[in-house]
Amino acid sequence: MIKFFRHIRQRLLSESKLSKYMLYAIGEIILVVIGILIALSINNWNTERQNDIKGTVYLEGIRNDLIHDTEFIKTLIPRYQDRYRDFRGLDSLVRIGSDSIFYIYFQKIRRFSYQTYTFYPRIGSYASLVSENSTALISNDSLSKQLKNIYEIQYVRIGTLGQELDDMATHISWERRLDYRQELKDFEHQDFDALFADLGEMHRNVGKYRIRMKKLLVILEECIEAIDKELENESTP
């Protein structure tokens, strides 16, 4: 093809047909430009297609992580409801100074302070999206904001409260361990004011944690639904 065009140029020059040569030269330039534009368009199309595929992979990974988190939260909420009920009963007895507390062994009270149900989310897919500077692959602005809210705000908040509960449980278990060894004989409420104050604070934070998990569950389910719609739109030609 190149030899063909070169032959035409040489023939036009040898015949001194300058005007025709100029027209030919302009036409050749236009063809070259068109070829470059076509090549760029194909390249851009390939890049966009690869980005779409990559974005879909990220969304599917995030979706799987969020589903795992919702299932985990659903198992935790009933446990925290039970703990909150137990704490509320104990706290009520302490507040009114009821002698019924005599019939609650300290070992049972100690179990109230155990923090074994902390929520730890899966963040791998979203962390990879951010670390690879690929957040722009999520073209849906509303969905992008939902993900940012979950991973950078909601998870941070519940993680902070969960850490506070862990620290408080450790404090009660270790700092108050001598209290648990004492007999209830000649029991006086004021002898254990510090212990009951700690348990009361634990009760309040367990209540906050339970409420926050319920709200987070709704947010996660709404985001999963939004991801499903986005993936469905991307699969539609």
Which range of 12-26, 77-91, 139-153 scores highest in mean pLDDT? It is: 139-153
Q: Which two tokens stand for residue 120?
A: 């730890």
Regarding predicted confidence, which is higher, 47 or 211? 211
Residue 158 pLDDT exceeds 80: yes
Q: How far apart are CA 175 and CA 230, in angstroms?
A: 51
* Mean of pLDDT values over 154-168: 90
Q: Give every CB contact of residue 167 below 8 A, 6+ residues apart in sequence.
A: none
Indicate the pTM of the whole model.
Answer: 0.72
* Mean of pLDDT values over 101-122: 73
pLDDT in tens, 23-39: 555 655 666 666 666 65
Are the CB atoms for 165 and 202 separated by under 8 Å?
yes
Are the CB atoms for 20 and 12 separated by under 8 Å?
yes
Question: Distance of alpha carbon 154 from its chain centroid, rounded?
Answer: 8
Q: Average model confidence (pLDDT) for the chain?
A: 77
* Mean of pLDDT values over 94-101: 69
Q: How many residues does the chain have?
A: 237
Q: Which two tokens stand for residue 85?
A: 């009920």
* Mean of pLDDT values over 125-130: 89
* Mean of pLDDT values over 152-174: 87
If you search the block for the tokens 């020059």, which residue do you land on? 13
pLDDT in tens, 174-205: 766 656 556 555 566 676 777 778 878 888 88
CA-based torsion, 169, 91, 197, 97: positive or negative: negative
* pLDDT at res. 21: 47
